[in-house]
């Protein structure tokens, strides 16, 4: 199963994260399928905290990827929620049929 989650980067005491699509069996900082964006919790400006490729995130959610709880929380602030993910899945499955 593909999972959207954060992979930790940065150095000690300065946390930065990458938003990645990866197999759920891979370790947190292991191999990923695609890097979708980045998250900097120390950034002052809210629009710069989470920067991601919206089309690619919607693509993976449409393919059935599951996002972690933290990722869902941040994606909801940018207008992507579980209902829109369900609609994307239906649209993609209808287009393939």
Those residues of the chain that have pLDDT short of 50 are none
Residue with tokens 């989650």: 5
Taken as a whole, the chain contains a residue count of 97
In a domain, 79, yes or no: yes
Q: What is the pTM of this model?
A: 0.82
Would you call 45 exposed, middle or buried from its count of C-beta atoms within 10 A (0-12, 13-18, 19+)?
A: exposed
Residue span of the structural domain in which 32 resides: 2-91
Report strand pairing: 50-52 vs 66-67. unpaired
In a domain, 96, yes or no: no
pLDDT of 34: 94
The distance in angstroms from the start CA to the end CA of the chain is 22
pLDDT of 69: 92
Cα(18)–Cα(75) distance, integer angstroms: 14
pLDDT of 27: 84
In a domain, 72, yes or no: yes
Report strand pairing: 2-11 vs 14-23. antiparallel
Which CATH number belongs to the domain containing residue 16 in this structure?
3.30.1320.10
Q: What is the CA radius of gyration of the chain?
A: 14
Count of domains forming the chain: 1
Query: Smallest Cα–Cα separation from 50: which of 80, 29, 25?
Result: 80
In a domain, 97, yes or no: no
């Amino acid at each position: 199963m593909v999972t959207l989650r954060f992979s930790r980067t940065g150095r000690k005491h300065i946390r930065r994260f990458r938003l990645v699509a990866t197999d759920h069996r891979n370790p947190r900082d292991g191999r990923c399928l695609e890097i979708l964006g980045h998250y900097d919790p120390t950034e002052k400006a809210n629009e710069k905290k989470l920067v991601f490729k919206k089309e690619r995130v919607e693509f993976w959610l449409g393919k059935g990827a599951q996002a972690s709880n933290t990722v869902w929380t941040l994606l909801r602030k940018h207008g992507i929620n579980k209902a829109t993910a369900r609609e994307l899945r239906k649209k993609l499955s209808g287009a393939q049929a």
